């Protein structure tokens, strides 16, 4: 049995594409929704999902909460803007027929920006562990940049097929997502007592931009690459400014 878990907030534009790809793969779909104001919840219920509404407390804790609601031993963690390729669908269906032989599985995640498949810009395809026996793995509780944690002796097994991650449909959406995550990183920085002067913040943002453009190859990805680098620049400034504002507020 595979329990798919999805965390959502105003994903009406994306969620149906995701849910269709789970048909025949997931035996149940757990949706933890953080108070959507669009049709997200209605669409999920139409597909038979088990929907729980919960205020957003950070990506790590939200994912772990969703995993805790699963009935099955194996949890497939997927985002609303992600879609299983047909090859990956068949790989997962085959796993169920053999009753699984490993505790964790990973597969390739391919990123798309405004319909363009990314091979650079810090978004090159990478293997991620997304299917796991929930007795052996937990999401860490980081607000952003969350990862699965599991015992050292457990090694994820590679399976065939790709997960397509459609990160944004336009560049404004890319900017909004980067700034939202930057605000969460800012809270983490503030909690660690980090408060940098404006010149250092600008310098860190410039380094982030240059690393993305040249080290990560965004300059070769055309307009999408340039907008990703720009978003990294602005998000870096936003994160440190958020930290500064929080620290200043707490000093009063």
pLDDT, tens digit, for every residue of 16-52? 999 999 999 999 999 999 999 999 999 999 999 999 9
pLDDT, tens digit, for every residue of 111-160? 999 999 999 999 999 999 999 999 999 999 878 888 899 988 889 999 99
Q: Structure pTM?
A: 0.92
pLDDT tops 70 at residue 252: no
Residue 131, pLDDT score: 97
In the structure, what pLDDT confidence band is assigned to residue 99 with cuts at 50, 70 and 90?
Answer: confident
Sequence-distant (6+) residues with CB within 8 A of 232 are 122, 178, 208, 209, 212
Sequence-distant (6+) residues with CB within 8 A of 252 are none
pLDDT, tens digit, for every residue of 209-222? 999 999 999 999 99
In the structure, what pLDDT confidence band is assigned to residue 201 with cuts at 50, 70 and 90?
Answer: very high
């Amino acid at each position: 049995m595979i329990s798919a878990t999805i965390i959502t907030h105003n994903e009406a534009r994306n969620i149906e594409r995701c849910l269709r790809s789970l048909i025949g793969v997931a035996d149940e779909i757990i949706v933890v929704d953080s108070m959507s104001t669009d049709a997200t919840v209605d669409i999920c219920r139409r597909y038979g999902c088990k929907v729980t509404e919960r205020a957003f407390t950070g990506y790590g804790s939200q994912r772990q909460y969703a995993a805790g609601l699963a009935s099955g031993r194996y949890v497939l963690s997927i985002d609303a803007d992600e879609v299983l390729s047909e090859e990956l669908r068949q790989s997962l269906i085959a796993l169920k027929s053999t009753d699984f032989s490993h505790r964790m599985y990973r597969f390739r995640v391919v990123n798309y920006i405004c319909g363009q498949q990314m091979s650079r810009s810090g978004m090159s395809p990478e293997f991620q562990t997304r299917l796991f026996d929930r007795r052996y793995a937990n999401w860490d509780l980081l607000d952003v940049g969350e990862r699965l944690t599991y015992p050292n002796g457990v090694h994820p097994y590679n399976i065939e097929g790709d997960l397509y991650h459609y990160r944004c449909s336009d560049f404004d959406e890319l900017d909004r997502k980067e700034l939202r995550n930057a605000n969460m990183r800012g809270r983490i920085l503030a909690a660690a007592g980090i408060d940098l002067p404006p010149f250092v913040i600008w310098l860190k943002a410039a380094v982030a931009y240059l690393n993305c453009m040249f080290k990560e190859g965004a300059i070769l990805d055309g307009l999408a690459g340039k907008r990703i680098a720009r978003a990294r620049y602005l998000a870096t400034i936003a994160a440190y400014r958020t930290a500064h504002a929080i620290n200043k507020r707490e000093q009063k």
